[in-house]
Amino acid sequence: MAEDINERVPHKRRRKQQTDYQQRRKLLKSGKPRAVVRTSNQHTRVHLAHFETEGDKNTAQTISKQLGEYGWEHHTGNLPAAYLTGFLAGMKADADEAVLDLGLREKKDGGRVFAAVQGMNDAGMEVPVGEEALPEEGRMKGEHIKEMKDIDVPSSVEEVKENIRGDFN
């Protein structure tokens, strides 16, 4: 903490390593909503955060648990579920474009965060991201799971996408 009267005490959320204020300021300067993607072992969460002075307003909130309503019968903590969660959030979205907010997480190319971003892009939103960061098409469809466990995930992904499209058209 501050030992000298001229030393500045960092914000509480910075001290607890919960917020990177420099990164947040850069994202807010864009004037676009932030596409916030968070993952856990069991689920992927996606929402759009719109800046307001009273506090951020979150829209298009989606969690991978909701995929069951569209026919998803597999685990919700994998790459195809993250892709479909992003697709569902993109269909719910009230904006045409957004910037990706990774928070304090480290960027991992080909991971679930970027699968969710690809899902948002496929749903018609524009979330700019480098092509090298996106997972391979086969992994987003679950072909790697089919090879390992002989579960027909690729057809499930296409089914769920069609069910989501049907719900929003």
pLDDT of residue 120: 96
Q: Is pLDDT above 60 for 1? A: no
Among candidate residues 11, 164, 168, the one with its CA nearest the CA of residue 83: 164
State the Cα–Cα distance between residues 165 and 92, nearest whole angstrom.
Answer: 10
State the Cα–Cα distance between residues 113 and 120, nearest whole angstrom.
Answer: 11
Provide, rounded to the nearest whole percent, the portion of the chain with pLDDT above 70: 86
Helix axes 153-168, 79-92, angle to 10 degrees: 10
Q: Is pLDDT above 90 for 141? A: no
- pLDDT grade, residue 10 (50/70/90)? low
Q: What is the mean pLDDT of the chain?
A: 85
- pLDDT grade, residue 143 (50/70/90)? confident
Domain range 21-168, CATH class: alpha beta
Specify whether the CB–CB gap between 103 and 24 falls below 8 A: no
DSSP 105-164: PPP-TTSHHHHHHHHHHHTT-B----GGGSPPHHHHHTHHHHHHH---HHHHHHHHHHHH
What's the whole-number mean pLDDT along residues 119-135? 93
Among candidate residues 134, 143, 132, 141, the one with its CA nearest the CA of residue 111: 134
What's the whole-number mean pLDDT along residues 58-66? 92
- Reading the block at residue 37, the tokens are 């993607």
State the Cα–Cα distance between residues 138 and 147, nearest whole angstrom.
Answer: 11
What's the whole-number mean pLDDT along residues 55-62? 88
pTM for the whole structure: 0.83
pLDDT of residue 52: 82
- Quick: pLDDT tens for 20-49: 666 767 777 678 998 999 999 999 999 999
Which comes out higher in pLDDT, residue 70 or 27? Answer: 70
pLDDT of residue 162: 92
What's the whole-number mean pLDDT along residues 45-62? 88
Domain locations along the chain: 21-168
- pLDDT grade, residue 14 (50/70/90)? low
